[in-house]
Chains A and B, each alone.
Chain A
Amino acid sequence: MVNQILVFPILFPLLSAITMLFFRRSVATQRIISVLSSFLLLAAAGWLLAAVISGGMLTVQVGGWRAPFGITLAADLLSAVMVAASALIGLTTVLYSLATIDRERERFFYYPLLQLLMMGINGAFLTGDIFNLYVWFEVMLISSFVLLVLGGTPVQLEGAIKYVTINLLSSSVFLAAAGILYGMAGTLNMADLARITPHLPQQNLLAVVSVLFMITFGVKAAVFPLFFWLPASYHTPPVAVSAIFAGLLTKVGVYALIRFFTTIFSHEAVFIDEVLLAASALTMLSGVLGAAAQYDFRRLLSFHIISQIGYMIFGLALHSPLAIAGALFYIVHNIIAKTNLFYISGIVERITGTFDLKKSGGVYAAHPVIGMLFLIPALALAGIPPLSGFWAKFVIIKAGFQAGEYAVTGIALLVGLLTLFSMMKIWNEAFWKDLPQPQVEGNRYETMGFGRRLLLFSPVVVLGLVTVLLGVFFEPVFRLAETAAAQLLDTQAYITPVLGRVK
Chain B
Amino acid sequence: MTLLLAIVTGCLYAAGIFLILRRNMVKVIFGLILLGHAANLLIFTVGRLTKGIPAFVPEGSDILTGRFADPLPQALILTAIVIGFGVQAFTIVLFKRTWLTLGTEDLDMMKTTDEPPKE
Contact = CB atoms under 8 A, between A and B. Distances in A.
B72 interface: yes
Contacts of A356: 117
B62 to A, nearest CB: 14
B94 A154 contact: no
Contact of A179 (B28, B46, B83): B46
A146 B32 contact: no
Interface of A: 131, 134-135, 138, 141-142, 145-146, 149, 152, 154-155, 157-162, 164-165, 168-169, 171-173, 175-176, 178-180, 182-184, 231-233, 235-236, 294-296, 299, 356
Given A154-B101, A172-B38, A179-B43, A161 B95 contact: yes
A149 B25 CA distance: 17
Given A131-B79, A157-B102, A161-B98, A142 B47 contact: no
Given A161-B94, A168-B91, 6 more contacts: A145-B90, A161-B107, A171-B87, A179-B42, A183-B48, A232-B114
A165 B101 contact: no
B110 interface: yes
16 contacts: A134-B80, A135-B79, A138-B83, A154-B101, A157-B101, A158-B102, A161-B98, A165-B20, A169-B32, A171-B87, A175-B43, A175-B80, A179-B47, A184-B46, A232-B114, A295-B116
B43 to A, nearest CB: 3
Contacts, number: 111
A142 B86 contact: yes
A161 B110 contact: yes
Contacts of B94: 145, 149, 157, 160-161, 164
Given A146-B90, A157-B102, A172 B76 contact: no
Nearest to A355: B117
B32 A168 contact: yes
A252 to B, nearest CB: 17
A231 B94 CA distance: 20
B113 A182 contact: no
A172 B36 contact: yes
Contacts of B42: 176, 179-180
B113 A232 contact: yes
Contacts of B90: 142, 145-146, 164
A166 to B, nearest CB: 10
B23 interface: no
Nearest to B80: A175
Interface string B23-54: 00100100010011011101100111000000
B65 interface: no
B112 interface: yes
Contact of A176 (B39, B73, B83, B95): B39
B63 to A, nearest CB: 12
Nearest to A138: B83
Residue in A142, A154, A175 with the greatest tally of chain B CB atoms within 10 Å: A175
A135 B91 CA distance: 18
Contacts of A134: 80
B72 to A, nearest CB: 7
B37 to A, nearest CB: 9
Contact of A183 (B39, B46, B87, B112): B46
A176 B110 CA distance: 30
